Structure 1
Amino acid sequence: MEKWTGKIAVVTGASAGIGKAIVEYFAKSGIHVVGLARRSEKIEEIGKQLGETPGKIYAHKCDVSDLESVKETFKWIEEKFGFIHIHINNAAILFYGTILDKRENATEKINSVINTNFTGAVHCTREAVRLMEKSDDYGLLININSIVGDSIPFGHGVNVYAPTKYALKAFTEVLRQELILSGNTKIRVANLSPGVVETEMAVAAGFVEDAAAMYQALPHVKSEDVAEAVSFILRTPYNVNITQLTIKPVGEKV
Structure 2
Amino acid sequence: FESLARFVTEGLARCGYTLCTGDVMATNPRWRQPLRVWQGYFKDWIENPTAEGLLHSSIFFDLDGVHGRTEWADSLRRDIARQARQHPRFLASMVRNALLRTPPLGFFKGFVLEADGRHSAGINLKRRGTAPLTDLVRVHALAVGSEAINSFDRLDDVIKAGVLTPGRGPDLHDALEFLSIVRFRAQAEDLRIGQPPGNSLSPERLSEFERRSLRDAFLVLDQAQDYLKFRHQSGR
Which of the five TM-score ranges fits, normalised by the shorter chain?
A: under 0.3
- TM-score, with normalisation over the residues of structure 2? 0.27
Structure number with the higher helix fraction is 2
Larger Rg: 2
Structure number with the higher strand fraction is 1
- TM-score, with normalisation over the residues of structure 1? 0.25
